[in-house]
Homo-oligomer: A and B are copies of this chain.
Amino acid sequence: MSRYLDLANTLGSRIERGLYGAGVRLPSVRTLSLEYGVSLTTVQQAYRWLEMAGLVEARPRSGWYVPAARPAPELPKMGKPDLRPTDVSEWGQVQELLDLESESGTIQLGRGMPDVESPTLRPLQAALAREGRRAGIASLHYNDMQGVAALRQQLSRLAVEAGYHVAPDSLIVTTGCQEALSCAVRILCAPGDIVAIASPSYHGMMQILKESGVQVFEIPSDPLQGISLEALELALDRWPVKAIQVTPNASNPLGYTMPEHRRLGLIRLAQRFDVPIIEDDINGDLAYGWPRPHALKALDEDGRVLLCSSFSKTLAPGLRVGWMAPGRYFDKALRMKYTGSGPTAALPQIAVAEFLQKGHYPAHLRRMRRQYQRQRDIMTEWVRRYFPEGTRIGHPQGGFTLWIELPESFDTHALDPMLKENGIAIAHGNIFSATGKYRNCMRLSHASVFTPRTEWAVRRIGEAVGEILHSTC
C-alpha cells in the first residue's frame, strides 16, 4: 500500500502546485512505471486514488487527465462574536460520543482517533514488549513526578523542531494532553473567572472549563486563519479575561494553522492585556506542510504561554503520554500534577522515549501526514459529490478531521435515527461550543484507511442531509 500512496502523493502535489494545467494529459501508466521503477498496477492504483480525490479524471481509451478547474468548495462561515461570557452547557452529548466508540461494527467518523495500525508503529510495539518484559524498577516504582527523564530529553529535542527551547527540567509529562490542559486551567482560573477561547474548539476543553466553573468567551475563528484578533481584543478590553485558549496548529475541529502575522498579533495582545495563553499543540506534528509550523510558544518572550501536547494523535491515545511546557507557571503546574494524579504511568513513557531516541518518529509522521492529507482530499471530494448544494467544507492544514457546515436551518441531530440505524458515528457540531452553537455543523474523521464502507457512510450521510432538507422545504 505504501508505494502507490507515495506515488499518488508525488503526483498529487505536482497537480496542486499547478505543474500540470487543467485539461492536460498526464504521463501514461507505462511511462510512470519506468520512471519510478514500480509495477503498472501500482501506477494504476495511484491514479485511481487521485481520481477519488478529484485530482485526475480518466478518459476512456485515452488516459489520465487533469480535470477542468473547478471552484474550490466554499469554506465554513465565521461566527458572530458573543456579547458576553457564558457558562458551558451540558455534557450529555459528549458522553454519548465517548460511549459510541465502544460499539464495535460502527463506522467511526466521530472520534478524533488516529490510525494506530500503521506498520511504522511496529517499533513502538517492540519497545513496549521489551520494556514490559524487563518491567524493571524503572517502570514499576514511583518515577520522577515530572516524568521519565529519557522521555523529557527527547521532548526537549522535539521542541526545537517546533521552534522553541525548553530544558528537560522545565517539562512535565502528563497523562495525555487532557491532563495538561486541565492543570493549565486550574492553575490560571478560579470558579467564575473568564476564559477566551477560539470557537469552535475541542469539546474536551469545553468540558474542562465547565468542570472548573469557568465562564467562556467564545471568539469566532476564521476557517483558514484562526481566532479573530479583532473580536479577541474587544473581549480583552471589556472583560477581565484570565486566560486565552488557542490551538494554532492544525486546530480541532477546523484544521486551520494560524499564519505568522496572526500569531504575532495574538502574542502582542496577550502581552498588552497581560493574559497568559494556553496553547494546545496536539496536532502540531501532523501539519501537512514540512517542516512543521512553529508552536506559538516559539514567540513567547516572558513565559506566558503554557504549551500542552501529547502523542495521542501522532502515535496512540491509549498510551496516555502527554506533556506540558508551562513556562513561568512551572512550580504551580508540578504541584497540580502531583495532587491531580501523581506521576504518569512509566512503561509507556519509557517505550515512547525509546521509539523517539531510535529515530522512528520522523518516518512515522511522514507516513501519517501523507495518509491524512490524501484522505482529506478524498473525503472532501465525497462531500462535494454526495452532500447537497450549499454545504461548506473546511480545508484543514493538518490532522484528520473535516468540518462540514450545512445550511443554517439544519440540525445535525435530525440525522441521529439514520446514523443509529446504519451504525455510523459522527461528531455533532454543537459539542465544539460552550453554548450549543454549530448545530448545523458536523466533524468527520478521516484517519483510518478508507474502505468502500467509508465512502458508503459519507454518501449515506450526505443523502440523508439532502432528504431532510428537501422534506422541510
Which A residues are within 8 Å of any B CB, using their own CB?
91, 94-95, 98, 101-102, 111, 113, 116-117, 121, 124-125, 127-135, 137-145, 174-176, 178-179, 182, 186, 190-191, 204, 207-208, 210-211, 213, 312, 316-320, 334-336, 338-348, 351
Q: Is the CB of A135 within 8 A of B129?
A: yes
Given contacts A128-B135, A339-B207, contact A142 B101 (CB under 8 A): yes
By a CB distance below 8 angstroms, the chain B residues around A316 are 140-141
A175 vs chain B, min Cβ distance (A): 4
What is the oligomeric copy number? 2
Q: Is the CB of B340 within 8 A of A179?
A: yes
State in angstroms the CA–CA spacing of A221 and B345 once bound together. 33
Q: Is the CB of B125 within 8 A of A132?
A: yes
By a CB distance below 8 angstroms, the chain B residues around A343 are 318, 320
Further 18 A-B residue pairs, CB within 8 A, beyond A175-B175, A211-B336: A117-B137, A125-B134, A128-B131, A128-B132, A128-B347, A129-B133, A132-B132, A132-B351, A142-B317, A175-B320, A178-B340, A179-B342, A207-B339, A210-B339, A211-B339, A318-B347, A319-B345, A320-B343
A7 vs chain B, min Cβ distance (A): 28
Q: Is the CB of A139 within 8 A of B318?
A: yes
By a CB distance below 8 angstroms, the chain B residues around A141 are 113, 116, 316-318
State in angstroms the CA–CA spacing of A409 and B248 once bound together. 58
Q: Is the CB of B345 within 8 A of A348?
A: yes
Given contacts A132-B130, A340-B341, A347-B348, contact A318 B178 (CB under 8 A): no
By a CB distance below 8 angstroms, the chain B residues around A94 are 338
> Chain B residue with minimal CB distance to A340?
B182
